[in-house]
Amino acid sequence: MKNYEILEHKADLKIRIFGATKEELFKNALLGMTESMKPETKKPEEETKRQIKIESTDSAALLVDFLSEVLYLSQTNREAYSKVQFKKFSDNQIEGELFGQKVERFGEDIKAVTHHNLDIHQKKDKTWEATILFDV
Amino acid sequence: MISKKDFIKINDWLWEIPKSFRSDMRVPSRFYVSEEMLEDVFRDKSLGQLVNVATLPGIINYSLAMPDMHEGYGFPIGGVAAMDMKSGVISPGGVGYDINCGMKLLKSEFTETEIRPYLEKLGTEIQKEVPSGLGQGRQVKVDISSINKILEEGAQRLVEQGYGEKEDLENCESQGRLGRADATAVSDHAKNRGRDQVGTLGSGNHFLEIQKVDEIFDENIAKAFGLFKDQIVIMIHTGSRGLGHQIATDYIGLMMRTMGKYGINLPDRELAAVPINSSEGQKYFSAMSCGANYAWANRQMITHFIRKAWKSVLGEKSSPLVALYDVAHNIAKIEKHLVNGKETEVCVHRKGATRAFPPEHPEIPLKYRKVGQPVLIPGSMGTASYILVGQKEGEQAFYSTCHGAGRTMSRHEATRRMSGEEVVKSLELKGIIVKCWSARGIAEEAPQAYKDIHKVVEVVHNAGLSRKVAKLKPLVVIKGE
């Protein structure tokens, strides 16, 4: 199964994300956003870790809030996170640790994660799918 | 689905979707396009979004859209909505993520012939002085207490510190400072994103251009604006960068969580809104004012760096660069307008729309009071930009006009159809110098990806929203990324 795919959109970046579980969906959403930012990592590589804790109203808002927090940490620390380990994962709360690398620069400037036509649902085969639009 | 049969033609430039179109509409929707451009508006969901805006509590007269309208988040881009101060709501989706994205124009005393030999060098120096902010940002990270001052005092703070002239503030919407700004309403996240971005251009459609005045449509007003044919001017297009986006993200989240308690139910999450006079509404207005102030400070700082480059290239020969005007196209303002014949305070949302006050309006600088407010309209890269002037007939749209060309092609489609090198070459053939760190950035902003700016301006001119004063042609284009 693919982790994510980039969809066609007029002005912005639209990504469809897949996951065998909801937790995996969130992990792949992180990967999709980080790879889309086209990070140029520092050489020699410098590993980095950050704690995150998010609380929201529902799964959809939780996904946007989670990615918004990652975006904030990426931009202010100049770091790209490709992995997350969750210590807590519920419908409206997550807690965990991000793993990534220091970057020289980002090739794409993602400015915000939006709720525009946001979709997150479990499919008939029990796997998860989400569509998110990023303001670039 | 909306189709042409749902429209009422008001005149050649104005169309209406009546209130009866959807049961949740509180007012009709109106949009300004020519018959020729009508097909374009069906291409995306902007009309549906305009109808959604008509459902917002407290909306006055109409939800409006300008001819450069296209699909946005919540509101369409090009959308205008005035809200009653007592019963109305305020919506971050009606301002946009890039709070106070806007335009500033600097005038020189030189003609094209005098500056042509220096163009290449000016382009290089300006690009060096004004970073995009995506790589290393500005080398200086401003501390939080300085950011707080910028958030509350805007461009005024920078002029006090020597980064500009008093005249820069006179020639700026709201003198570069919204009084209701309160830095405590802005999150640390937003402030941190803003710390190394004062004086940076950003990416996407943001740009700097050295232009010449190519055509003058109204000699008298051009004279009042200090414009003459073949004059060299510099245009700045940018906004509040990461800080503004973070304020929008924070408050859309907050409003989604709280609007239920005010009994507000909306067709789209990105329209999230709360009553203007609620504590959340007041707090958003204070935070949005901070974002707007940051953007005016950003354009002021960029002006400072452009002047530095200008002086270093032209040396003894250099003459001052004077600001014609600085105007926002993503903002919510408290303004007085005639509602049912009575002067009333309303909250006007302009998202991808420019304020265009008429002659004699008390909120425009004294020196323009007789002729009306200058309006700055950028075209797509390498085409043309316009200077317009506000006029009395603009009352019908709460004195608002268009803001640019408006995209028609996706960024991906643009990069698929042409390479950055091709675009640069075709611009060079037209005698335009392009400075950009990223070839992809150039391809994405290719002029073919946008509506025709001339047609957009023709509509606002004919509809009476603002009148043509001058057309500007680019000579050097400097892009962020």
H or E segment and range at residue A118? none
The annotation status of B330 as a binding-site residue, yes or no, is: yes
- What does the pLDDT average to over B200-212? 92
H or E segment and range at residue A128? strand A128-135
The 10s digit of each residue's pLDDT in B317-375 is 788 999 999 999 999 999 999 999 999 999 999 999 999 999 999 999 999 999 999 99
- pLDDT for B438: 79
- Pick among B97, B249, B450 to test the A interface (most A CBs inside 10 A): B249
> If pLDDT is split at 50, 70 and 90, which confidence band does B408 have?
confident
In one-letter notation, the amino acid at residue B285 is F
Q: What is the 3-state secondary structure (H, E, C) of chain B?
A: CCCHHHCEEEECCEEEECHHHCCCCCCCEEEECCHHHHHHHCCCCHHHHHHHHCCCCCECCCEEEEEEEECCCCCCEEEEEEEECCCCEECHHHCCCCCCCEEEEEEEEEEHHHHHHHHHHHHHHHHHHCCCCCCCCCCCCCCHHHHHHHHHHHHHHHHHCCCCCHHHHHCCHHHHCCCCCCHHHCCHHHHHHHCCCCCCCCCCCCEEEEEEEEEECCHHHHHHHCCCCCEEEEEEEECCHHHHHHHHHHHHHHHHHHHHHHCCCCCCHHHCCEECCCHHHHHHHHHHHHHHHHHHHHHHHHHHHHHHHHHHHHHHHCCCCEEEEEEECEEEEEEEEEECCEEEEEEEEEECCEECCCCCCCCCCHHHCCCCCEEEECCCCCCCEEEEEECHHHHHHCCEECCCCCECCCHHHHHHHCCHHHHHHHHHHCCCEEECCCHHHHHHCCHHHECCHHHHHHHHHHHCCEEEEEEEEEEEEEECC
- Is B461 a residue whose pLDDT tops 90? yes
Report residue B158: phi and psi, to 5°.
Answer: -70, -40
- Cβ-Cβ contacts under 8 Å for B234 (sequence gap 6 or more): B105, B106, B108, B208, B209, B210, B211, B306, B321
As a dihedral over the C-alpha atoms of residue B182, residue B188, residue B189, residue B191, rounded to 10 degrees, the angle is 60
- pLDDT for B138: 61
Residues of A in contact with B245 (CB under 8 A): 111-112, 135
> If pLDDT is split at 50, 70 and 90, which confidence band does B306 have?
very high
- pLDDT for B311: 96
The 10s digit of each residue's pLDDT in B99-133 is 999 999 999 999 999 999 999 999 999 999 998 87
The 10s digit of each residue's pLDDT in B141-196 is 788 999 999 999 999 999 999 999 999 999 999 999 999 999 999 999 999 999 99
In one-letter notation, the amino acid at residue B26 is R
Quick one: angle between helices B279-314 and B241-258, nearest 10? 170
More confident of the two residues A4 and B405: A4
- Pick among A52, A62, A76 to test the B interface (most B CBs inside 10 A): A76
- What does the pLDDT average to over B220-239? 98
Residues of A in contact with B204 (CB under 8 A): 109, 136
Active-site residue, from B403, B412, B454, B461: B403
The 10s digit of each residue's pLDDT in B59-111 is 999 999 999 999 999 999 999 999 999 999 999 999 999 999 999 999 999 99
Taking all residues of chain B, what is their mean pLDDT, rounded to a whole number?
94
The annotation status of B403 as a binding-site residue, yes or no, is: yes
Question: Do the Cβ atoms of B202 and A114 come within 8 Å?
Answer: no
Dihedral class, residue A38 (left if φ above 0, else alpha if ψ from -120 to 50, else beta)? left
| Predicted ipTM of the assembly | 0.92
Question: What CA–CA distance (Å, rounded) separates B248 from B124?
Answer: 34
More confident of the two residues A45 and B137: A45
Question: What CA–CA distance (Å, rounded) separates A101 from A80?
Answer: 5
> Which residue does chain B place closest to A107, by CA atoms?
B134
Residues of B in contact with A104 (CB under 8 A): 135
The annotation status of B479 as a binding-site residue, yes or no, is: yes
- pLDDT for B137: 54
Neighbours of B394 (CB within 10 A): 25
The percentage of residues in chain A with a pLDDT greater than 90, rounded to a whole number, is 86
> Superfamily for B102-408+450-479?
tRNA-splicing ligase RtcB (3.90.1860.10)
CATH code for the domain in which residue A92 is found: 3.55.10.10
- pLDDT for B365: 96
- pLDDT for B136: 53
- pLDDT for B139: 61
Residues of A in contact with B410 (CB under 8 A): 8-11
Q: Is B70 a catalytic residue?
A: no
Structural domain containing residue A56: 4-135
- Is B282 a residue whose pLDDT tops 80? yes
The 10s digit of each residue's pLDDT in B20-44 is 999 999 999 999 999 999 888 888 8
Domain edges within chain B = 102-408+450-479
Minimal Cβ distance to A109: which of B203, B412, B413: B203
Question: Do the Cβ atoms of B73 and A115 come within 8 Å?
Answer: yes
Minimal C-alpha gap between B40 and chain A (Å): 13
Any bridge partners for residue B80, and if so which?
Answer: B64, B350
> If pLDDT is split at 50, 70 and 90, which confidence band does B478 have?
very high
